[in-house]
Amino acid sequence: MRSLPYFCRGPVIRGFGRGSKDLGIPTANFPESVVDSLPADISTGIYYGWARVDNGDIHKMVMSIGWNPYYQNSKKSMETHLIHKFKEDFYGQMLSVVLVGYIRPERGFSSLEELITAIRSDIDEARRYLDLPEHIKLKEDTFFRTSTSTIDKQILNNH
């Protein structure tokens, strides 16, 4: 995939409300505009990378891009699970991510337990891959040094 690493940013919106959080795997959903802007060579599937909420710390993440075959969604989604325990929800806040690498295609499962086991193993892989020096480098990218309030100001000034 030539577009990797892929940087993008957008507000966190309400997702499908399936209680992923209750399963211990909350996923912050991006709006349609961010999903529609994905380059054609970023195929659906599971990715790992770095993520940051507003001007907070940078955390490891896993992201699912696609139609969630297990649920057979009709709308393509980009859902990010940050590998960090947050005290509070962050709906409406700005999420900045860099997709660093691809783990696997999305697939269907015969039970919710199997889906959760697969996600747990994705998280383990992401943790390991992101410790590699060439991946840690991306965490230091200037993309993450731009404060989101600066971006808000830039947007305001341009209109």
Dist. CA 17–CA 152, nearest whole Å: 28
106 classed as catalytic? no
Residue 91, contacted partner among ligand ADP, ligand RBF, Mg ion, none, CB below 5-8 A by kind: ligand ADP
Site for ligand ADP contains 29 (CB under 6 A): yes
Distance CA 132, CA 105 (A): 22
Q: Is 62 in the site for ligand RBF (CB under 6 A)?
A: yes
Strands 77-82 and 94-104: unpaired
Asked if 143 contacts 98 with a C-beta cutoff of 8 angstroms, the reply is yes
Residue 147 and residue 115: Cα distance in Å, rounded?
A: 36
Q: Which amino acid is at 22?
A: D
Site string for Mg ion, 59-98 (x = CB under 5 A): --------------------x-------------------
User: In the bound complex, what is the minimum distance in angstroms from residue 146's beta carbon to ligand RBF?
Assistant: 26
Calculate ∠ Cα 154-101-126, nearest 5°. 105
Q: Does 21 bind ligand RBF (CB under 6 A)?
A: no
> Binding pattern to ligand ADP, positions 69-108, x when CB under 6 A?
------------xx-x-x--xxx-----------------
Catalytic residue annotation: 79
